[in-house]
Amino acid sequence: MGPYILRKLLIMVPSLLGISVVLFTVLALAPGDPFEELATNPNVPPAVRAALRASLGLDDPVWQRYVHWLSAMLQGNWGFSFVSRINVDTLIWQRLPVTIVVIGASQILALLVALPVGVLAAVKPYSWFDRIASTLAFIGFSLPTFFTGLLFILFFSIELGWLPFVFRADISATGWEWWWEHIKQSIMPVAVLGLAQAASWMRYVRSSVLDVIRLDYVTTARSKGLSERVIITKHVVRNALIPVVTLIALQLPQLFGGAIVTEQIFRIPGVGSLLIDAILRNDTPVIMAVTFVLSALVILFNLMADIVYGWLDPRISYR
């Protein structure tokens, strides 16, 4: 297992470099100038402006700027937010935990829904349960997250008045009260993200269980007299999950898209809403850092998927 993880870690390096090149090129090609404000300010003489640009290396060739930027990033110097006037890394560390908690909880919810429903649907294919579950799955992934979010707000907050629809980070209550308030305001965002995710996972689980369930070794297990429960959980699901893990890993980049949308709808102060604010205010260092952090997270989760893969299918780790 050790060498396997190490090899995967080494593969991460060129991917991260590639992503950083793509990001840097996009921002270097972008017409917006971070010095626009200075350029239009009549109090700054052109000579001063030119000297300032030269001192910050803005007139250097692109590749030189890239090397400078990369070495600064590696040293942990992520720059300074133009708008918030604090260091970008502090800003991101403030926002990241909320996003990770909401995404994590929604993934757990998705797994808890998709796995049993998908397996049950595949055990009795084309039964009523399967038909209903498959139709609901279709509806689930045809509903865009922003619309489900609005529908949830409409129903649970406005009609029923059960749940708050604005996420508050500064809840004054303590102890149990604090936890209760946080859980209450997280239910809707987590449900919106998790159910959308569960809809597509359920189909993956169903079709890959269908591929496995009639194989000979399952028949063997059955003829040994094992209970149906043991056959499904120990023999079928573990093998069926191997392709599912790959598909889930492939879908991860889209997960952050969903997170951005839900954070925007429910006004959760996470990295997604930070990115939107930064884009709207042309806050280049923040945009750069947030997109880079999100890409790095995607690659990290891919690594985790590879490790899970190795655990599910021991043949892989020896290769």
**Per rule CB under 8 A, is residue 253 in the interface with another protein?**
yes
Per the CB < 8 A criterion, the answer to whether 204 and 247 are in contact is yes
The site that binds another protein (CB under 8 A) totals a number of residues, namely: 52
Report the candidate in 266, 265, 275, 279 with the shortest Cα–Cα distance to residue 95.
275
Told to check if 151 binds another protein by CB under 8 A, we report: yes
DSSP H helices in 30-163: 36-40, 46-55, 62-74, 88-123, 128-142, 145-152
82 lies in the site for another protein, by CB under 8 A = no
Binding residue (CB under 8 A) for another protein from 141, 181, 187, 313:
141
Binding-site member from 113, 205, 241, 294 for another protein (CB under 8 A): 294
Per-residue buried b or exposed e for 205-226, using 16+ beta carbons within 10 Å of the residue's own CB: bbbbbbebbeeeebeebeeeee
Q: Is 255 exposed, middle or buried (0-12, 13-18, 19+ CB in 10 A)?
A: buried
Q: Is 313 left (phi over 0), alpha (psi -120 to 50) or beta?
A: beta
Residues 166 to 225 in contact with another protein, rule: CB under 8 A: 210-211, 213-215
Neighbour count for residue 291 (Cβ, 10 Å): 21
Determine if 256 is a binding residue for another protein (CB under 8 A).
yes
CB-nearer residue toward another protein: 38 or 150: 150
Specify the amino acid at residue 100. Answer: I
**Looking at 136, 143, 187, 242, which residue binds another protein (CB under 8 A)?**
143
Q: What residues from 26 to 55 belong to the interface with another protein (CB under 8 A)? A: 26-27, 30-32
> Considering the rule CB under 8 A, would residue 102 count as an interface residue with another protein?
no
Would you tell me which residues interact with another protein (CB under 8 A)? 14-15, 18-19, 22, 26-27, 30-32, 125-126, 138-139, 141-147, 150-151, 153-154, 158, 210-211, 213-215, 250, 253-254, 256-257, 260-261, 264-265, 275-276, 279-280, 287, 290-291, 294-295, 298-299, 302
